[in-house]
A and B are shown apart, each in its own frame.
Chain A
């Protein structure tokens, strides 16, 4: 019964490092600095870590490489590469490991230097025989197909997609760690250079460096540690395809499965959520996810953003750090949804603090809308 995992783990520490540009540092170095930060605020050290949850696009055997770099021999390791949703998905396996007693201190961590190393999104190279002959650009071609279909089926407009980007920028303006903070208008997005219609360069997430880490322990242990515990109330993971060609319905992502799984475990619904932190790889993602997670009707995601509900002061803040579109996007974004949610819940978000924030939904996306992971984090157990 999935409800058995409800609140069986709590987040005791989070850390960020190198958001934006971290020149001269490797992806493992960036990751390790975030790890140090997270363990430090949790009042723990690497010697305490016995569960490792990590993934990246640099190491083929990511779990093994990261454990070696950190100098740990974990009792439990999960290095499943779901793409960017991996880190939210790790909340599931980390909670299972802690709840079953397989490990006591779970460390979720990630780091990337893609911006200063190559300036481009680092993607694994594997043969795509049914796509390659047609000249795709990964992953934007796939997201453009999903966006175009959503526009065709539901009348979503480029203006609404632009409103998503503008909303993210409004939050980034309040976040000193955000990479892009200058004002952004709908007109600018509409006039930006097109890459794959209907997506322009401003419909795409940033390419930055950055690292993050999250430390989970049992709820009892969390209460004895320095920071206010954030409970892992519910989590759900789902993947329905790898290639956009085999996505059952281009307008419905597997968030429509992971979301209900997470809500069921948590025992709450969309109406109970105070803030949403989700993986905005492209402007279509927040529209799809707000629909699939049940915050608005299918097809009405564009309206949700154009009516301003997600912005500072709106009734349902989305991506309070500026998201992948304006804050940071070091290749795999999932871990940053967790870290931002935790900082908001703890009241540590400074100028971008959302008042009366008790329950957050975090959502990660992987591949071409392929793998989705949703988690509910709360101050109340």
Chain B
């Protein structure tokens, strides 16, 4: 069973991502959600999702920190992490690379691109 985690502090964004990726549920993918950094780490450690969409701007623990923490764990190295960052914000690409994220995408996102990328990474083409 494939697992996908959506992490964003805004419930509406979580809903949009959920809606975008909904059709994958028919293809045996479980979609999980987390609303902050700490919860995300918990869920990742427990559920070991294959792919994580991770918002950068979150209070208390941001996306970079979550990513760094996860990538430090030996058995979680191959969880694919996509950072979501607001368009227009100076995205610190260096920081993104440093924390070990795999790629980043901007918000507002193109739903088609999100779905395509998810399919690609979960090998569901």
Tell whether A pairs with B: no
Residues of A within 8 A of B (CB): none
